Structure 1
Amino acid sequence: MQEEILKVVTIILLTMLKFIAGPTLGFAGGFSLLSTILITITGMMCSVFIFTFLGKLLREKVFPRFFRKKRKFSKRSRRFVTIWKKYGIIGVAALTPIIFTPIGGTILLSSMGTPKEKIIFVMLLSAIFWACFFSSIIHFFGAQILPSFMQ
Structure 2
Amino acid sequence: MEEIWQIAGLFLFSAVRFFLAPPAAVIAGYGFLSTVIITFSGGSIGFVLYYKFWQILKTSFAKLFKFKKKGNKKTFSKKNKLIVKAKLNYGMIGIALLTPILLSIPFGAILAANYYPNNKKVIPVFLSSILIWSIGLTYISLYIKLP
Confirm or deny a common fold (TM above 0.5).
Answer: yes
Q: State the AA in 2 paired with 1:54.
A: F
Match of 2:108 in 1: 105
CA contact (8 A) 1:83 1:92 kept: yes
Aligned-CA RMSD value: 2.3
Match of 2:125 in 1: 122
| Partner Cα separation in structure 2 for residue 117 and residue 92 of structure 1 | 16
Q: State the AA in 1 paired with 2:33.
A: L
- In the alignment, which of 56, 72, 87 is matched to residue 90 of structure 2? 87
Q: Secondary structure at the match of 2:102?
A: coil
Q: State the AA in 2 paired with 1:55.
A: W
Aligned: 1:138 with 2:141: yes
Match of 1:48 in 2: 47
Q: Once the two structures are aligned, what percentage of the paired residues are identical? A: 26
Aligned residues: 134
CA contact (8 A) 1:33 1:135 kept: yes
Q: Secondary structure at the match of 1:31?
A: coil
More helix by share: 1
| Partner Cα separation in structure 1 for residue 73 and residue 130 of structure 2 | 30
Match of 2:56 in 1: 57
| Partner Cα separation in structure 2 for residue 72 and residue 121 of structure 1 | 35
TM-score by length of 2: 0.80
Change (3 A) 1:78 1:96: closer
Q: Secondary structure at the match of 1:91?
A: helix
Match of 2:66 in 1: none
Structure 2 residues without counterparts, runs of 5 or longer: 62-71
Structure 1 residues without counterparts, runs of 5 or longer: 62-70
CA drift at 1:73? 2.9
Q: State the AA in 2 paired with 1:50.
A: L
CA contact (8 A) 2:35 2:138 kept: yes
Deviation >6 Å, runs of 4+: none
Q: Secondary structure at the match of 2:18?
A: coil
